[in-house]
Structures are given as structure tokens and as C-alpha cells.
Chains A and B, each alone.
Chain A
């Protein structure tokens, strides 16, 4: 996996955090009941902790690739969306009306030499 950031950098740290977050959220899509999800979350956390001391970049790449593959395999087809997030049920509903100065048609027409009553 050449696309993975090299280990022990800030980029790698944020990549692992994002991976952990994606796995937990994917698990939450499958298991709504929080106590059951918590057990899964603990086992996921244990797996991350088990690989905490993997320092060899090649071994690390294998571990991460395996985790990504497992996540892709278990990806929920219809993930939960918060109502007001993009694609949520309340997304773009009840948009506030545009607040701005009213367009003055009569003034515009006067300024541009147009007269009322149509052409």
C-alpha cells in the first residue's frame, strides 16, 4: 500500500484515528443498541491496542490493509445519517428565506430607460 502515510508522523496518527472512527461508526450502523455496540467497540479497541507496538513499516502496512479490507467487507449499505447532515431526512428542508434588500423593479426600469406597460 503505497498510499498509506509513513508511520510515526502526524499524518499517520490522524489516519489511524480516522480508521478507528470509521470502524466504530460502521459498527454503530449495524448495532443500534448501545450496550451491544459497546462490547464490539471494546473488542475493536483491544485489536488496535494489540497492534500498538507494531513498528515495522511493512508489518504495519499489512495490518492496516487487513483492517481496511475488513471494514470494506463489513460496510453497511445504508448507513445512519443525522437528520440535518447532507442526505439526512431534514437536509435542505425549511431553508430560511433569502434575507436581503428587496429588488426595486421600478427603480431599475427607470435607470435603464425602460417604461412600464410592457414592450
Chain B
């Protein structure tokens, strides 16, 4: 804390001294050196469409899934013809796509594409 205070004090002194010592053009050049070159701010969360397209892309990559039957409202077992172990693989692929971990109990409940989308939408850690 004291070191910070000392630095602030020193910085203020330099600021006071600068106009009288340094020529204006030089001062400008010194200042322009600190122009930030990249913004490190985080992007906003995932949008609904983005989640939908990415989940559907994950499902498209499964060879057992008929991509013509693929839609947002499709159920894994009835519409896509996946058995329960395939559904486990789908959930694991979705987990990997969004870099999250879905607990066992909640992974069990995901049986439709819409449920997967809803789960991702309510998970803040999904990327």
C-alpha cells in the first residue's frame, strides 16, 4: 500500500514537472506509446441460435443420426433412432463442444435436442 502511495506521489511529481521540461511533441510521442493494442474484454454469452447450430452440428457428426430427421424438436430415441447408450455419447460430445461438465443426474434427463439446448443456455460456464 505504501509503495503504491509512493509511486502515485512520484507520478504526480513527474506530471507537474513534465510540461516545463519536455517539449510538447516529445510528450505526445511518449504518451502514444501506451495505446492499448488489444481489448481483453470478454464476449457476451452464447446466443440461442449459436447454441442451436452448434448442438445440431454435434449431432450431425454422429454417423447413426439421419441428418434429414434432425431438428430442434427431435427426440433422441424416437426421432433420431438412438438408444440410451448413444444418448450418453451425444451428451458427452455436447459437453466437450461447450467445455462444461454435466452431472450424471442431469445428463440422464437430457433426451431431446431442445433439452440439450436449454441446459447449455442456463449454464453460465458454457463457451
A-B contact number at CB 8 A = 36
Q: Is A21 an interface residue (CB 8 A)?
A: yes
Min distance, Cβ B125 to any Cβ of chain A, angstroms: 4
Pick 17 A–B contacts, CB within 8 A, sort by A. Answer: A13-B84, A14-B108, A16-B85, A17-B84, A17-B85, A17-B87, A17-B88, A18-B104, A18-B108, A20-B85, A21-B91, A24-B88, A24-B89, A25-B92, A45-B85, A84-B100, A85-B125
Sort A-B residue pairs by CB-CB distance and give the 10 closest, nearest first.
A84-B125, A85-B101, A82-B101, A21-B88, A18-B104, A14-B108, A17-B88, A20-B88, A20-B85, A17-B84
Residues of A within 8 A of B (CB): 13-14, 16-18, 20-21, 24-25, 41, 45, 48, 81-85
Q: Are A21 and B99 in contact (CB under 8 A)?
A: no
Min distance, Cβ A116 to any Cβ of chain B, angstroms: 25
Min distance, Cβ A9 to any Cβ of chain B, angstroms: 13
- How far, in angstroms, from A98 to B88 measured CA to CA in the complex? 37
Q: Are B108 and A24 in contact (CB under 8 A)?
A: no
- How far, in angstroms, from A21 to B100 measured CA to CA in the complex? 15
- How far, in angstroms, from A81 to B104 measured CA to CA in the complex? 15
Closest to A44 in B: B85
Interface size class of B (residues with CB under 8 A): 10 to 19
Contacts of A85 in B (CB 8 A): 100-101, 125
Contacts of B84 in A (CB 8 A): 13, 16-17
Contacts of A18 in B (CB 8 A): 104, 108
- How far, in angstroms, from A18 to B99 measured CA to CA in the complex? 20
Q: Is B70 an interface residue (CB 8 A)?
A: no
- How far, in angstroms, from A119 to B100 measured CA to CA in the complex? 53
Known: A13-B84, A85-B101. A21 touches B107 (CB 8 A): yes
- How far, in angstroms, from A18 to B103 measured CA to CA in the complex? 10
Known: A24-B89, A24-B92. A82 touches B125 (CB 8 A): yes
Min distance, Cβ B98 to any Cβ of chain A, angstroms: 10
- How far, in angstroms, from A104 to B102 measured CA to CA in the complex? 41
- How far, in angstroms, from A57 to B83 measured CA to CA in the complex? 22
Contacts of B107 in A (CB 8 A): 21
Given A17-B108, A18-B104, A85-B101, output 15 extra A-B contacts at Cβ < 8 Å: A13-B84, A17-B87, A18-B108, A20-B85, A21-B88, A21-B91, A21-B104, A24-B88, A45-B85, A48-B85, A82-B99, A82-B101, A83-B99, A84-B100, A84-B125
